[in-house]
Amino acid sequence: MKVTKNITKDLVAEIIANRNIVAIYQGQCEAGPRALGNRSILYDPRDPDGKNFVNKVKQREFYRPFAASALVEHIHDWFDMCGLKESPYMMYAVDVLEDKKKLIPSVVHVDGTCRMQSVSMEQNKHYYELINEFYKITNIPMVFNTSFNLGGETLVESEEDAFDTCKRSDINYLYLPEKEELWTKT
């Protein structure tokens, strides 16, 4: 893999907007059942074939739903939050508002719901800024998010795990925001 240093979030957002999978590795590993932006595979939620594409790359079952990580200030414009102000730990599947479903088909499950995470600057600065750059490019205030692992494997824990997972898959981009590095397959 080849490294580009001093990479900016807008360039990474552009790569995602061009329908490339980008794995992100930063901070501490998340505990629990959800990928919250520290060990995640990111993709463009606008791609109608995004579920199939990412499932093929992840080597996992077709029926598993995906999630969206959305800027907290926009969640009520996209989701019926059922009285919740936010959902920072991706614990709920909520209805996607009817007029928004066609705009983000990769993260809408067959029942019209989306397991979603609200992201604030205070919660995860680098992740928030990346999503915000994607929003500036696409007018979509969220990214498609799934755990950074391949089917049947545990979540990526170390930087070495991250590189190994990319090398053994069709994940061509690995973003390390704390180091301002983007690794690409050559």
pLDDT digits (tens, 9 = 90+) for 91-145: 999 999 999 999 999 999 999 999 999 999 999 999 999 999 999 999 999 999 9
**What mean pLDDT is predicted for residues 71-85?**
97
Q: Which pLDDT score is estimated for 33?
A: 62
CATH value at residue 49: 3.90.870.20
Tally of structural domains, the chain: 1
Name the residue range of residue 83's domain.
2-184
Closest CA to 36 of 160, 165, 145: 145
Q: Which pLDDT score is estimated for 53?
A: 96
Helices (H), the chain: 9-17, 50-58, 75-78, 125-138, 159-167
Closest CA to 135 of 53, 75, 67: 75
DSSP 1-28: -EEEES--HHHHHHHHHTT--EEEE-SS
pTM over 0.85: yes
Percent of the chain residues past pLDDT 90, beyond the cut:
88
pLDDT band at 32 (very low <50, low <70, confident <90, very high): low
